[in-house]
C-alpha cells in the first residue's frame, strides 16, 4: 500500500492495483498540485462537500476520463450533473460498495456537518488490506465498530482541532480502531487548526498503544 499526503485531508493511495484520490483539495495552502497530475486515477473518494474536501474532485474527473467518484448519494448526484451520471457511484453509510477487482468501499459515520447528504469517513478494502480515512469528525464509538468490522491497517485521522478531533481525541480514536499505522492529517493548514503531530504522538504514547504513527510532510509518500 502506497500513501501520499497531498496536504490537509487530501491523499493519493495505491492499493489492490487501483489508484485512489481522497478529498482532493489540490490547491490547498500547504501543498499545491493540479488535477492534471492525477489523470491516471481510478477512483475519487469524497467524504463530504465542504470546499476543503470536495475540492477539485470535478476537475480531477474531467482530467481523468476513466475515473469514477465514490461518495454519499447526494454528493454523487451533484458531481454526476457536472461530469455524467455514469462517472459516479452514490451510496450511503454502512453499505459495502463493490467496485470490482476485489475492491470495496464502505462509507462510515462522521460527526460533522455538510450541505449535501451526510458527512462520512471511508474504508477502502482490497483483499486483506484496509485503509480508513476518517473525514472530518469528532471521536465516537462508531470507530470501535470500524475497527472490529474492517480492521484497518492504516488510519488517516484529523488532529487539528476546532472543526475536528484534536490530538487527544485522535489518540482515543487510535485506541478504538487499533490500526497498525496512524497518519495525522487536517492540521496546520490554517492557524485555527492548532493540533500538531508531536502532540498526537505524545497522546498515543500516554495510552500505551502499539501503533506506528507515520508523520508525512506534504507531498511525501510512505509504503506500508
Q: pLDDT (tens digit, 9 = 90+) per residue, 186-200?
A: 999 999 999 999 999
Q: Which DSSP symbol is given to 1?
A: -
Q: What is the largest CA-CA distance in the chain?
A: 49
Given a cut of 90, whether residue 101 has pLDDT beyond it is no
Q: What's the CATH number where 90 sits?
A: 3.60.15.10
Looking at the domain assignment, is residue 7 inside a domain? yes
As a whole-number percent, the residues of the chain with pLDDT over 90 amount to 98
| Calpha distance 218→224 (Å, rounded) | 17
165 in a structural domain: yes
Q: Look at residue 81 in the predicted model and tell me its pLDDT.
A: 98
Sign of the C-alpha dihedral, residues 117, 111, 107, 200? Answer: positive
> How many Cβ atoms sit within 10 Å of the Cβ of residue 69?
25
- As a whole number, mean pLDDT of residues 156-180 equals 98
- Residue 100: inside a domain, yes or no? yes
23 assigned to some structural domain: yes
The answer to whether residue 223 is domain-embedded is: no
Say if strands 221-223 and 2-5 run parallel, antiparallel, or are unpaired: antiparallel
Judge whether 224 lies within some domain. Answer: no
Question: Domains in the chain: how many in total?
Answer: 1
Would you say residue 117 lies in a domain? yes
Domain containing residue 89:
2-216
In this structure, is residue 221 part of a structural domain?
Answer: no
Q: CB neighbours of 114 closer than 8 A, spacing ≥ 6?
A: 48, 49, 50, 72
Amino acid at each position: 500500500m502506497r500513501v501520499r499526503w497531498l496536504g490537509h485531508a487530501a491523499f493519493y493511495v495505491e492499493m489492490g492495483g487501483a489508484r485512489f484520490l481522497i478529498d482532493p483539495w489540490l490547491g490547498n495552502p500547504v501543498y499545491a498540485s493540479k488535477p492534471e497530475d492525477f489523470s491516471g486515477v481510478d477512483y475519487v473518494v469524497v467524504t463530504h462537500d465542504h470546499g476543503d474536501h470536495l475540492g477539485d474532485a470535478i476537475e480531477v474527473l474531467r482530467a481523468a476520463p476513466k475515473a469514477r467518484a465514490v461518495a454519499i448519494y447526494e454528493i454523487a448526484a451533484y458531481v454526476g450533473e457536472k461530469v455524467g451520471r455514469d462517472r459516479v457511484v452514490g451510496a450511503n453509510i454502512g453499505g459495502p460498495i463493490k467496485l470490482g477487482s476485489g475492491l470495496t468501499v464502505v462509507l462510515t459515520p462522521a460527526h460533522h456537518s455538510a450541505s449535501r447528504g451526510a458527512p462520512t469517513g471511508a474504508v477502502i478494502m482490497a483483499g486483506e488490506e484496509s485503509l480508513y480515512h476518517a473525514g472530518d469528525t469528532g471521536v465516537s464509538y462508531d470507530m470501535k465498530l470500524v475497527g472490529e468490522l474492517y480492521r484497518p491497517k492504516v488510519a488517516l485521522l484529523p488532529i487539528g482541532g476546532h472543526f475536528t478531533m484534536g490530538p487527544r481525541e485522535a489518540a482515543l480514536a487510535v485506541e478504538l480502531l487499533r490500526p497498525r499505522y496512524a497518519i495525522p492529517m487536517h492540521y496546520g493548514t490554517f492557524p485555527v487548526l492548532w493540533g500538531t503531530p508531536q502532540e498526537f504522538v505524545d497522546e498515543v504514547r500516554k495510552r500505551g498503544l502499539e501503533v506506528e504513527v507515520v508523520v508525512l510532510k506534504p507531498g511525501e509518500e510512505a509504503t506500508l
